[in-house]
Amino acid sequence: MFNNNENLSKNTNNPVPKRIASRQLPGVYIILCITNNKRYYGESTNVLARLSQHKSKLRRNIHEISELQRDWNLYGEEFFTFSPLFISRDCDKAKREALELEYIARHFDLCYNKLFKSSRKNENN
């Protein structure tokens, strides 16, 4: 479900290949436990960096989402996937939050997410 990023380098003088240039793009992502089909949706100004932060916290056993951490500890890293769902240079905060909420609402019974705004730790969620 990646957004087509072919136009990223067409009209720019960016010498960095598309696959690398897209690494710092904003968007929406999923962390999926393939054992129980539970998922965590998030949005960020830099999706791949944010996914790396989640993975690092889970590996160090300090993730703020206790249920996600519990399943990580129970099933192991090999049973989790970390994937961008939508990335785009033009994806502003409002659009990212709307997409994130749409995914959460669609799969609420399978989500680690809580819909309460106060449960978000910071802007990088």
Determine the longest span between alpha carbons in the chain, in angstroms.
47
Whether 93 has a pLDDT exceeding 70, the answer reads yes
Q: Which residues pair with 41 in a beta bridge?
A: 30
In this prediction, residue 114 has a pLDDT band, given cuts at 50, 70 and 90, of confident
Whether 11 has a pLDDT exceeding 70, the answer reads no
**Residue 80 gets which letter from DSSP?**
E
Look at the pTM and tell me if it is higher than 0.85: no
Mean pLDDT confidence for 94-115: 94
